[in-house]
Structure 1
Amino acid sequence: MDHLFIINPAAGKKDSTEALERLLERLPFPRKIVHTAREGDARRMTEAAAALGKPIRIYACGGDGTLNEVVNGAAGHDFLAVTNVPMGTGNDFLKLFGPNYRSIFSNLEALAAGPQAAFDLMDCNGKLGLDVICAGVDARIAAGVHKYKRLKGVSGRWAYLLSLAEQVLVRGICRPMTVSMGADRWTQEPTAILCICNGRHYGGGFMPVADAMPDDGVLDVLRVGKVSLPTFARLAGQYAKGLYWKYPALIRAYHGQEVSFSAREPITVVVDGEIMRDTTFTVRLSEKKVNFFYPAGASYAPCV
């Protein structure tokens, strides 16, 4: 079995790459190490590995964006398996494996020898996602964080708070959107949140569907329609804890294989942290899967 480590030096703290490379030096098995330099490199490196046509375990060393690129390159190739070595400021997908995910996925020897499972993928206008796709105010907040982080002296936390204030207090929570999910359809009605889950966590601390599973062949979709600012503030904490089912009058849930949505103005959509913009989207369960490996003893089953 070959092992390919794709390292994103721009992910996380400045010294995280050096720390990882020290760990790699002590591994008892052969491995290839490559570094990304620009957006799309991780996907291209994975596609090059896939072209070899032999079993390879690929380690996306970075955050959710690095993992997403590797997943898009490996999808549909049964002889490849991917995982995520947590170096990013956000490793939301790995939170499936519990609060100690950073330590267990940093044990590279255990990770290399661990089992794998075939995980579902979401197809969003041709881009594949493994974790969560959002298309409401939460997506606009996430997109705005990148803008504010470019400002000198603005930390990640302050970037989030500034983006939150802009989108919620200045620009308004809702946008008119046509949404079709299952038998339900809303035509150009105000929509606050539209969230499509294959995984369970996004946005650094939100777990909208607490029992979502990445291998059950089901997309878990939540739609929040028109809500006032006080209601939104009251609802946010409950939504973040996966308690949507307590609020059927405010949050409509759908569990199926496809959802579509459109608007007259471009919609901001975030796929595993990656930003897309268009006026029409269809998200469906992809025919492709990806093999994901993890340390023996770790579990991605929800806590009950």
Structure 2
Amino acid sequence: MKHVFIVNPKSGKADASQFFVPALIERVAPLKLDYAVEITAYPGHATEIAKQYAMAREPVRFYACGGDGTLNEVLTGAFRYPEAEVACVPLGSGNDFLKNFGTAEDFLDLEDNISGWAVPVDLMQVGEDQISAAICSAGLDAAVAYNIPKYRRIPFCGGKMAYNISIVENICKPMGNRMTVSVDGKAFTGNFLLAAVANGTTYGGGFRAAPRARMDDGLLDVLLVNKVSRLKVAGVIAKYQAGRHFSGDEIIPELRQIITFVRGREVQIVPEKEIVTNIDGECDLRPQVSIRVLPAAARFVLPARLAEAYTPLVGLAGSV
């Protein structure tokens, strides 16, 4: 099997090509693997690299060395090829995808990662050809993420500070978006603070929007948060962020008039006017969003210790 390490040099706080790649080669070389190291140069490059290797139709394991965006790109390039599987070496700050299986630290042991094996995971198709691994959302959370980059350019205003300023800005604006969200043909129309379609449990640097979601059940967890007053929004978002809006598989009683939770396989979000959307951290204005689950579409590698403890659903993904 070929082992291909795809490194995003812009992940993390330092240039990964300068500090990570030499250390990687030092650790991999003694293992006598058939390996290659590729460094990305522009957005979408990781997808191109993965596709180029996968098209050889030979067994290949890709290691997405970066954050959730890099992992998304590698999965996008690899998932159509059954000979390809995708692992992750987390270099980013969020690493939300990995929280479905463990912690980022669980994936940092390179030898354990190399000796691990792949499990099937669902993906989401967004529109005609875009792939999402973890989240598709529209509304307040997407608008907050959309505005963060402009604050990061301000000195001493990175990370959490930029995020908090963006929250304040968006809460001060008119909140709520009139939209219709259809889940497997059942329509929900209202003035929503946000609509989230989750394949995994976590997004946005730690928001546990769908704590009961699984990436191998062939289903999407859909959450609709109604518009609330500014006096209530902080409390609602705090519970939503921590995953405390759920008790078991149900929304807690005090939030059932505010949050709607359903599961389905196909979702369409149609706002009255263009809305900011978040597709695995990529934010943009869209007139509408269509999403459908792709059951067991990808093969994701778990480090050996996690793989030994992992219990897939009976019949694997998409069987329910």
TM-score, normalised to structure 1, is 0.92
Going from structure 1 to structure 2, the CA distance change for 1:95 and 1:17 (only over 3 Å counts) comes to farther
Residue 241 of structure 1 aligns with an amino acid whose one-letter code is A
Shift of 1:281: 1.2
The aligned counterpart of 1:108 is 110
Do the aligned partners of 2:89 and 2:107 also contact (CA within 8 Å) in 1? yes
Structure 1 counterpart SS, 2:274: strand
Residue 178 of structure 1 aligns with an amino acid whose one-letter code is T
Do the aligned partners of 2:9 and 2:15 also contact (CA within 8 Å) in 1? no
Do the aligned partners of 1:213 and 1:301 also contact (CA within 8 Å) in 2? no
Specify every segment of 5 or more residues in structure 1 that has no aligned partner in the other structure, as ranges: none
Residue 222 of structure 1 aligns with an amino acid whose one-letter code is L
Shift of 1:53: 0.9
The aligned counterpart of 1:231 is 232
Shift of 1:17: 4.1
Aligned-residue Cα RMSD (Å) equals: 1.9
Query: What pairs with 1:49-68 in structure 2 (closer than 5 Å)?
Result: 49-68=53-72
The aligned counterpart of 2:211 is 210
Which deviates more from structure 2 when the two are superposed, residues 194-203 or residues 276-285? 276-285
The aligned counterpart of 1:252 is 260
Do the aligned partners of 1:137 and 1:173 also contact (CA within 8 Å) in 2? yes
The aligned counterpart of 1:35 is 39
Distance 1:123 1:186 in 2: 21
Residue 86 of structure 1 aligns with an amino acid whose one-letter code is P
Do the aligned partners of 1:221 and 1:255 also contact (CA within 8 Å) in 2? yes
Do the aligned partners of 1:4 and 1:59 also contact (CA within 8 Å) in 2? yes
Do the aligned partners of 1:182 and 1:254 also contact (CA within 8 Å) in 2? no
Distance 2:96 2:295 in 1: 24
The aligned counterpart of 1:156 is 159
The aligned counterpart of 1:75 is 79
Once the two structures are superposed, residues 15-42 of structure 1 have per-residue CA deviations (whole angstroms, 9 ceiling, x without a partner) of 5444432133222123100101111100
Distance 1:253 1:301 in 2: 25
Distance 2:211 2:271 in 1: 29
Which deviates more from structure 2 when the two are superposed, residues 222-231 or residues 32-41? 222-231
Do the aligned partners of 2:17 and 2:39 also contact (CA within 8 Å) in 1? no
Query: What pairs with 1:135-174 in structure 2 (closer than 5 Å)?
Result: 135-169=138-172, 171-174=173-176
The aligned counterpart of 1:48 is 52
Query: What pairs with 1:251-270 in structure 2 (closer than 5 Å)?
Result: 251-270=259-278
Once the two structures are superposed, residues 38-80 of structure 1 have per-residue CA deviations (whole angstroms, 9 ceiling, x without a partner) of 1110011011011111110001110111111111111221110
Which deviates more from structure 2 when the two are superposed, residues 21-30 or residues 111-120? 21-30
Once the two structures are superposed, residues 87-106 of structure 1 have per-residue CA deviations (whole angstroms, 9 ceiling, x without a partner) of 012211111223xx232211
Shift of 1:184: 4.1
Structure 2 counterpart SS, 1:109: helix
Structure 2 counterpart SS, 1:192: strand
Going from structure 1 to structure 2, the CA distance change for 1:248 and 1:184 (only over 3 Å counts) comes to farther
The aligned counterpart of 1:219 is 220
Going from structure 1 to structure 2, the CA distance change for 1:180 and 1:192 (only over 3 Å counts) comes to same
TM-score, normalised to structure 2, is 0.88
Distance 1:212 1:301 in 2: 14
Which deviates more from structure 2 when the two are superposed, residues 278-287 or residues 215-224? 278-287
Residue 297 of structure 2 aligns with an amino acid whose one-letter code is K
Percentage identity across aligned positions? 36
